[in-house]
Structure 1
Amino acid sequence: MVNYTDIQVIDARDIFIKWNKSQLDGLSEYTSDEIHKYIKLIPLFLHLNHKMLPGYISDQLPGYVQSGVYGYQADKATVNDARLLNSKFRYQHEEIVKNAAVESVFFQRRLVDGSFLCWIFNKPDLSSEMLDALKTKIEKISQWLYSRGAAIKFICLSGDDFISDKKNKALNNDKALFLDNFYSESIVLAGKYPVWWLVSPSKEGEYSACVEHIKQARFVDNDEFIDLASPAEVTRKDFLYFSVNQVQTVKLSAEICLVNLLVIDNKSRAWPDLDGVSFRLKEYLYQNKQSINLPGILTELLRETFSQYAGNKHLYTEDRLFSWIKANPGKLNPEIAECFLAAKDYREVRLEGVDNILASLSYFKAIADEIRQLFGSIVDTCWQRKEEGEEDSNLLLVARNMQELLSDSANRVPLYNSKDITDILFDRILLRYQHSSWSLLAGTSRGDETILDDFTSLLGLLAWCWLNRVVNHSTQISIDCPSHQVRQIEARYVLEILMQYLDPKIVSSIPPKVFEKPAQPLKSLLFMSLLNESDVQRMAKDSLVFSQSLFGTSTGPVMHCEQLIINSWGDVYTKEYTGNAGMLQCLCEWTHHAPLDASAEYVSRKTDKDVLVQPQSLKAFSYGTGDSTHIAQRMEQIYSEIINFFYKCKISAGRFVLRMENTCYVVTADNGLLAASEIGRQKALIEYLQAAVDVYQDTALERLAFTEQPLCEMYQRNKKNVLQVFFQIKSRRYHVWVLDEKGTLWTDIVNVYDRDSYVIHWLYLFRNIRVILKKKSAENSDLPSLEICQISINPLGEFEFHTKGAEALSGEKQFYELQVKIEVSDNDDQLSLVFEDQVFLYSEFRQNVLMECIQYMSASMSGGGHRPVFVTDIDIPLSLYHVAMPEMLQISHILKFKRNFEHRINKLLQG
């Protein structure tokens, strides 16, 4: 700021009045003569309640406003203009009203966008009835002006409400610049003027004390001014808050955002010293500086800010940037760019066709880069210079989140343009894969090629084209990809999918509050393809994204997935996954924004409105026809079953088994986050399900995980602490599957001798199993129950389950019972057997117990007495079950011993 000499209060008032009059007369430069006249008539419309003038309200209206505008008296020119509206209007000069309902009428032409506002300050103690009547009158005036082509926003409030950020929404959202803009842009049409204009620039830091001194000294009549506070009453928090709001609305007008951030950055750097358009305007007026204009003062601020970034990397110089803004101002007031370039002879060459598209995209990128740098500077300045107790952690978090959104990232899809502009649509694009990246090539009028941005994936490039609005349904696509072998029709199909499922507005209409929380995935699209081994190895070599462990060493085609993600901040980025494990990693990571433990806690509130927090849906597509289409459908089906099992069924501690090609995997939750791990082929899956577990786990099998056996349907019926026996008769053999009390699988195949023997033997066996568990386990409560189901296949090929009830007990026992007892000694295991009522003790037969028993069995079965032999009672040490502690014993351990012993007996009998 330059030096100045303080002047007297009365002189300051005269300077302001002179400036105010020149500004009022100068309004004709920005409006038509007719609109200019209407603006000057607004105080008269408010002052009078005349039937021949706009704003008339009935005399019978309760609370009718009679006292007009403070100190207003229409001059002859104003009266003549009013008579032009209605020749019957007659104006009778009256005394100046001192106790008026309206204290001041301000007209503001906003410099940044050229919009018009009219501020009407009512008397603070106005009754509610009178205030309602005044607002009704203002509404009628507003409608009349709008019908005449004058789009003016009217705001009615008291001076106290004006300086309250709770009552004045404009001040609440824009405290850093609001008063600075208001004082520099507003014109007093009638009534009291702001006392701020009487405060010397050197006293801005002591504004309240200075105003009080003016009131006490009575340099001017205290009733002729109104106190609307000082623009000096701002903090760094206000600068940061305003900058955050600007970035949140950047997609509405990047040009306005750029200008405002340039001003805020200047003010933030100068703070606690004061700077701004209004401060400089007052100073220049006090110094009697000639040729003062607001765009010129703003230009000073903008160029000073640009000078602070001279050493930074810029895509455009400031003159080139504003020359583009001048040609494409958007919502920004064109005067700003014109004034910025007034002293420069800088002109952009008029471009057409592809050249214009390329230049426009380059401009969009340049302005986005400037906004990123400015916002980062403001955030860093506010953070580095913050004082103790000044920090707002929530606001700073929002700012940091926005910085992250604006930062560069290899996998991010940069968004520069949010406007539908016909002139920047490509008729044809060429997509080239070279040096491990995708790029868009466009031919210029000079005959050469221009490369637009490099992307790690084709999906990211196509999303960039669509979301930046440079392609549509008519755009033709060509592919140059010798290594990837992506066909033109496949790229076109992906683009059509993006156009159908991805509305660009999803990234341009982001509510401000979302930045108060970490970014959450909002929408996702998956695109599947099959890669040859050579492509996989090359991608693994060229990119850090891929890991050999994700896709193994398969020599056949390998699945590859490109995922497009849009999060709650409006950020768009891509991810790539390869191989079976990569596909499952993609599905699991998509659920991580809704952890199972957080969902369970949310549900535990048990309110009517509470629902289970579930991950977003997932849409999968293929790059072409054939196997990749089937893979895409299967991925959707697997994801749906995973969500149903873990989230809809609320099973956070379960395990979900699935198969990808010939390999089986299991999905489990680790600290509430789903993760997949490899099991192996089907044999390994059976071993996995047969392994002992510490506690019961709900288990689900994806419907195609094991189609040869009804394991999927069985686990759907699995129950805790129930021994479930499932059997199916095929080719005179029992195919048996058992789920024990902890869900561990046990299988067996037994010859069929008669219809009921096998089922009945389970009743005898289970009775003894309960005795074994009661004896071995320290916890005798909650002994398991038994459930027996026969499986059949209906004419539609579906499995049906038929529970066997108590009627099975009525059947006659048509099998031989065998009881096994083993005692462990220092030398060897001592086996004793009981076959029916015949006892074979170790003490009597020693090592020949088993053979003696076999001989007795053979003799008993001779002469047509052949029956199946089932072990129904077992008494052996824990060590033979291969468990270390009694609590670890499961029924499946007992059944394994039973199966092995029975198979040995049957083999000896047959031999």
Structure 2
Amino acid sequence: MQVNAGRIQRLREGLQPRQQQCFDLIPLLFHLNYDGLPGFSGNETPFKIANYQPDDALIKQLQGLSRQRIPTQHLVAKAQLSALYLMGSSGSIGHSTSSDLDIWLCYNSELSNVAIHALAEKAERISEWAADFNLEVHFFLMDAHKFIGDEQTSLTGENCGTTQKVLLLDEFYRTAQLLAGNIPAWWLIPAACEEKYTETLNAFYDEGLLRKDECTDFGGISSLPGGEFIGAGMWQIYKAIDSPYKSVLKLILLEIYARGYPEINSLAHTYKNTIYRMQLSLDDLDPYIMLYRRIEGYLKERGEHERLELIRRCFYYKVSLNLSRTHRSHNWRRQLMDYLVNEWGWDGAKLRHLDNFRSWSIEQVITERKGLVTELTRSYRFLTEFASEHGSDHLMSQRDLLVLSRKLHTAFDRRPGKIDFINIGLDTDLSHEKIHFQERESKQEPGVFLWAVYNKPIEDQPAPLKYSKSLLETMLWAHLNGLLSAHLHLPVYPSQEKVTEFEVRSTLASIRQYIPYPRPEISSQAYNHPAQLTKIVIFLNLGRDPLHYLSTKGLQKISARSDSLDFSAQRENLVVSLDMVLVNSWGETVVERFTDEDALPKALKSLINRLKKQNGLSSPAVETVCHNPTRPQAIAARVRQLFSDALEAVNSPHSSENTRFVFSVRDKYQVFQYFRRVTNYVAIESTEELIQFLGAEQESYSPVVFDPQHSDENKAIAELYRLHEANCISLCIEHLEDESVINIIDEHGSLVQFKQPQQSMATALSPIVRFLKVTEHRQRSNTEAEHMPERSIRCYQVNRHGKQVKLEKLKLGGLITEGRFISVQVNVDISETGEQDYYIVCNEKEFNSNLLGQEMFSALASYVLGLRASGTRYPIYITEIAMTEAIIESLPYGHDQTRHYIDLKLKIEKRINHGLTLD
């Protein structure tokens, strides 16, 4: 209790008067529960701390603060709270003015969930109240009985979750300070009796030396489970991302414990034994001093002096005292730290260097980071090997393991294009650096040019700070690491690229606008979910003028003056390089670079596939940036609209998974489609090939969306697809001078286009509409009714007005029954040789390809001519087609769709009409 009081007094000395007032009142606020007091959250909230007797002065202080009289009859109620304990660095040399306070709020096991929730709400309100005093306090609700029973919550901001229990208890026992309530039962058990902790404590109860309501029991630490080391190590590496110096100290302590396993002399036992020997020096019992001394002895014994020097720096930065500066007050923390640095042999120059970390050069920052990452990596490998050697499974939950691994992946993964952050642990200002960029040929790959970042003049031939494939990536790396925050001019030395000073200056302004520095804080809750893209910024043609690029490729020159947004209509591709910056919810920033004529479709494919993995969540808007001399605004606007249209078509919540998206660049069409769990694209050379490609069989309904800026010749098809729906057959006819063009989209979205001689509307449409209806009835007869809803057939006529194309809906009326046609029914099967066999019935007359061979179609034509009284030669139309199961099973997806019947109809009609000498 003497040591406890001394440490609390040391803590109070470091607080300002108002903070001291707040700190002193915290136990009383949990002891009482009156409306009007800070933190009050309802009359049902548990209150009163066991064995706590607030003095009158403290009650008067609270009355003065709340300006109301505090009743005393409430104090006779049964205590529902057992104790308040400070835990961690508080009261130690490691507790600086910026440190927070961690307090374990212990409650009785019999409290209901409703009461515990009310208590948690009160604790949160008291934390908010303390913040008004500039005091950061975190409360952790603890039930000692459940703690012993291993019922722990999962990983949250300051909680180690399921990763460690006994190791957490070790830290608690060597750092805890009793604020109010019961003493820890562990204090009363001599270290020699730790193996029989429970038996010894029960003996004290039985002999009347101790009452159970006088202490709080979290259990003993006679041994440390091997399975905790890997979990605790992962937790500390997780914490190291934000506080590396503190975590490195704790990781080496874990290493020390692991090397002594299973015999472990924990720091908690050392702490208790020292007090039991009445060695009560607060300096020697300081938790951080004890931690350092244990590590120092371990590293000296192993002769690892470089690690010891790193540990001393970690300790110095954790203590956070600038010893190189003169202070009027010379408190105990400063005196103790002065003693240590003198012991280490650090001179004034060393201290000035450490204290002036904000002015370090980038090389010094990188060196320090490398040392810390090396130590973290070493600790991780050691603990992993320990777990493997001792067969110790880690005790982390799968959820905690996933969260930890995600944050470690974010911090330390170095995949190509990902921006790595060099500043770790120290808030170093690197804006004073003089930064230069140079394009230079790779020594490993001759002919490949890379961009390098330097902080010294190029003529001095310095070592580069960073290499990357693009100027944009190097600029972004320098920007997000704070190297460009004060720069207005950037010296750039290109070799192959044609980047201008204006481009560089404008690009830097755009980077600052869309991807600001410093980076926003990432909530720990973000790692509970897979990374989601939160920002997409595309930089176009940086350092590559498309005019120059096209001329070197021997392509047609274009005007640099035009501001037309529809550059695809110019039949040229004005995107020759594309840097896509992707920022996700874990704080990762990745640059993907695409070059040459296919940069645009490659980038769009990559982005679509990334967004597909976001499980239908809405994607951020795409921002585009172009500062090239050739049509920058038009190119940026066009690409932004194209990406927006494409993502809306294939990746919006209401779009079909199998949607196809079509756009044209130069003389090619690009068709995107999701197939077998990935989106890919196909480059198509002509309109004829595009129509053929859109006619391909589909496994399921696959709508087609055309880029609104598509070329004129496909506008009728694009409009027909826009009006098309699932379970629908859409047909449009356009009359030209001497022929009609018919486009049909079937129930799966497959397109069929064919031409026929100019005829009246009824004569042109009636045969095909009747055939479509008969085909639907045949398909329905082979399918359960509920699995095949009735289809609608919609007919349109194409009307053109200049460049405008509209589809006028036609009424079917009597098209299905209009006109008189000779009945021609076709049955199709597969022969033994794999060829198609035809069995045709025309007006009850049978024609079989097995019997007639190639003569069957001419024989059928002659028969039809005989049926016509006038002998007039006009086209014959198939009225019905049936396919055997063998034919259907041979189709690409094992099922028939309307396009298969139309294809067969057109193929057979052509051969019959050839016999009529009509083609």
CA distance in 2 between counterparts of 1:657 and 1:183 reads 67
Using a 3 Å threshold, how does the CA distance of structure 1 residues 695 and 22 change in structure 2: closer, same or farther?
closer
Alpha-carbon spacing, 1:355–1:697, altered in 2? closer, same or farther (3 Å): closer
CA displacement 1:15-67 (0-9 Å, x = unmatched): xx5544654665676468x7999799879989999xxxx9999xxx9999999
Which residue of structure 1 aligns with residue 680 of structure 2?
675
**Cα distance in 1 for residues equivalent to 2:49 and 2:575:** 84
Task: Identify which range, 817-826 or 679-688, moves more after superposition.
Answer: 817-826
1:894 aligns with 2:898: no
The partner residue of 2:189 within 199, 204, 218 is 199
Q: Which residue of 659, 665, 671 corresponds with 1:660?
A: 665
Matched residue, 1:560: 577
Q: Is the 8 A contact 1:622 1:628 kept in 2?
A: yes
TM-aligned CA deviation for residue 211 of structure 1? 1.9
Q: Distance in 1 between matches of 2:857 and 2:261?
A: 94
Q: Relative to 1, partners in 2 of residues 1:450 and 1:317: Cα closer, same or farther, differing over 3 Å? A: farther
Out of 489, 502, 522, the position equivalent to 1:509 is 522
Q: What's the secondary structure of 2:497's corresponding residue?
A: coil
CA distance in 1, matches of 2:298, 2:776: 82
- One-letter code aligned to 2:858: L
Q: CA deviation at 1:791?
A: 0.9
Q: Take 2:623 and 2:23, find their aligned partners in 1: how far apart are those partners?
A: 60
1:687 to 677, 692, 696: 692
Q: Using a 3 Å threshold, how does the CA distance of structure 1 residues 265 and 801 change in structure 2: closer, same or farther?
A: farther
Rounded to whole Å, the distance in 2 between the matches of 1:357 and 1:775 is 76
Q: Does 1:806 align with 2:810?
A: no
Please tell me whether the aligned partners of residues 538 and 625 of structure 2 are also in contact (alpha carbons under 8 angstroms). yes
Report the equivalent of 2:284.
292
Distance 1:682 1:127, change over 3 A: closer
Is the counterpart of residue 113 in structure 1 residue 95 in structure 2?
Answer: yes
Shift in Å, 1:492: 3.4
**Alignment check: 8 A CA contact 1:816 1:836 kept:** no
1-side partners of 2:765 and 2:10: how far apart?
103
Contact 1:429–1:475 (Cα < 8 Å) also in 2: no
Is this contact kept in 1: 2:537–2:623, CA < 8 A? yes
Matches within 5 A, 1:588-737: 588-592=605-609, 595=612, 612-613=616-617, 617-622=621-626, 624-626=628-630, 632-647=636-651, 648-690=653-695, 697-709=702-714, 710-718=716-724, 724-731=730-737, 734-737=740-743
CA separation in 2, counterparts of 1:787 and 1:150?
A: 72
Distance 2:619 2:124 in 1: 48
Distance change in 2, residues 1:827/1:657 (3 Å): closer
Alignment check: 8 A CA contact 2:658 2:701 kept? no
Deviates more, 1:437-446 or 1:697-706: 437-446
- Between stretches 130-139 and 634-643, larger displacement belongs to 130-139
Q: 1:464 aligns with which of 461, 465, 477?
A: 477
SS at match of 2:464: strand
Moved more, 263-272 or 113-122: 113-122
Amino acid at match of 2:623: K
Identity level (%): 16
Describe the shift of the 1:412–1:708 C-alpha distance in structure 2 as closer, same or farther (beyond 3 A).
same
| Structure 1 residue 480: Cα displacement | 1.8
Q: Which moved more, 1:34-43 or 1:344-353?
A: 34-43
- Return the letter of the residue paired with 1:292: D
Deviation at 1:224, TM superposition (A): 6.3
In structure 2, the residue matched to 1:13 is none
Instruction: Compute the displacement of 1:723 (Å).
Output: 5.5
Which residue in the other structure is 1:525 paired with? 537
Counterpart of 2:482 in structure 1: which amino acid?
R
- Over 3 Å counting, the alpha-carbon distance change for 1:223 and 1:71 in structure 2 is farther
Determine the C-alpha separation between the residues in 2 that align with 1:36 and 1:778: 84
Cα contact 2:228–2:395 (8 A) shared by 1: no
Are residues 663 and 135 of structure 1, via their aligned partners in 2, closer, same or farther at CA, if it must alter by over 3 Å?
Answer: closer
Q: One-letter code of the match for 2:644? A: S
Over residues 130-165 of structure 1, what are the superposed CA-to-partner deviations in whole Å (9 max), with x where a residue is unaligned? Answer: 999999999999999999988777889886688788
Which residue identity lines up with residue 686 of structure 1 in the other structure?
Answer: I
CA displacement 1:849-893 (0-9 Å, x = unmatched): xxx99xx759xxxxxxxxxx44445899999xx999896842133
Separation in 1, partners of 2:81, 2:746? 86
- Displacement of 1:220 after TM fit? 7.3
Corresponding residue SS for 1:477: coil
CA distance in 2 between counterparts of 1:523 and 1:184 reads 46
CA deviation map 1:241-268 (0-9, x unaligned): 5555555555554443444444444445
Question: Does the 8 A contact of 1:580 with 1:660 survive in 2?
Answer: no
Residues 363-372 or 443-452, more deviating: 443-452
How many angstroms does 1:441 deviate by? Answer: 1.3
- 2:198 corresponds, among 184, 194, 208, to 208
Q: How far, CA to CA, are the matches of 1:690 and 1:149 in structure 2?
A: 70
One-letter amino acid of the counterpart of residue 526, structure 1: I
TM-score (norm 2): 0.69
For residue 175 of structure 2, what is the amino acid of its counterpart? E
Rounded to whole Å, the distance in 1 between the matches of 2:429 and 2:541 is 34
Helix, strand or coil at the partner of 2:712? coil
**SS of the residue 1:526 aligns to:** strand
Residues 314, 366 of structure 1: 8 Å contact kept: no
8 A Cα contact 1:565 1:574, kept in partner: yes
In 1, the alpha carbon distance for the partners of 2:734 and 2:797 equals 6
Letter in 1 for 2:498: Q
CA contact under 8 A between 1:40 and 1:189: conserved in structure 2?
Answer: no
Q: Is the 8 A contact 1:722 1:787 kept in 2?
A: yes
Distance in 1 of aligned mates of 2:774 and 2:107: 92
TM-score (norm 1): 0.69
Cα deviation for residue 792 of structure 1 reads 1.0
Query: Does the 8 A contact of 1:834 with 1:840 survive in 2?
Result: no
Asked whether the equivalents of residues 795 and 811 of structure 2 are also in contact (C-alpha less than 8 Å), the reply is: yes
Q: CA deviation at 1:283?
A: 3.1
Question: How far did residue 296 of structure 1 move?
Answer: 2.3
Instruction: Find the aligned partners of 1:662 and 1:134 in 2 and give their Cα distance.
Output: 70
Bigger Rg over Cα = 1
Partners of 1:102 and 1:772 lie apart in 2 by 79
Q: In structure 2, give the amino acid aligned to 1:443.
A: K
Q: In the aligned structure 1, how far is the partner of 2:662 from the partner of 2:337?
A: 63
Q: How does 1:415-454 map to 2 (within 5 A)?
A: 415-417=421-423, 423-426=429-432, 428-434=434-440, 435=442, 436-443=449-456, 449=462, 451-454=464-467
Amino acid at match of 1:762: L
Asked if 1:490 is matched to 2:503, the reply is yes
Distance in 2 between residues matched to 1:884 and 1:121, nearest whole Å: 71
Distance (whole Å) between structure 2 residues aligned to residue 581 and residue 221 of structure 1 = 80
2:2 & 2:782 partners in 1: Cα distance?
A: 97
Following TM superposition, by how much is the alpha carbon of 1:839 offset from its aligned partner in structure 2, in angstroms? 1.8
Does the CA contact (< 8 Å) of 2:575 and 2:635 recur in 1?
no
Change (3 A) 1:198 1:698: same
RMSD, aligned α-carbons: 6.2
**2:345 maps to which residue?**
345
| Partner of residue 572, structure 1 | 589
- Where do residues 264-413 of structure 1 align in structure 2 (5 Å cutoff)? 264-286=254-276, 292-294=284-286, 295-303=288-296, 317-319=310-312, 341-346=341-346, 347=350, 350=353, 356=361, 358-360=363-365, 362-364=367-369, 366-375=371-380, 377-378=382-383, 381-382=386-387, 385-387=390-392, 392-405=397-410, 406-413=412-419
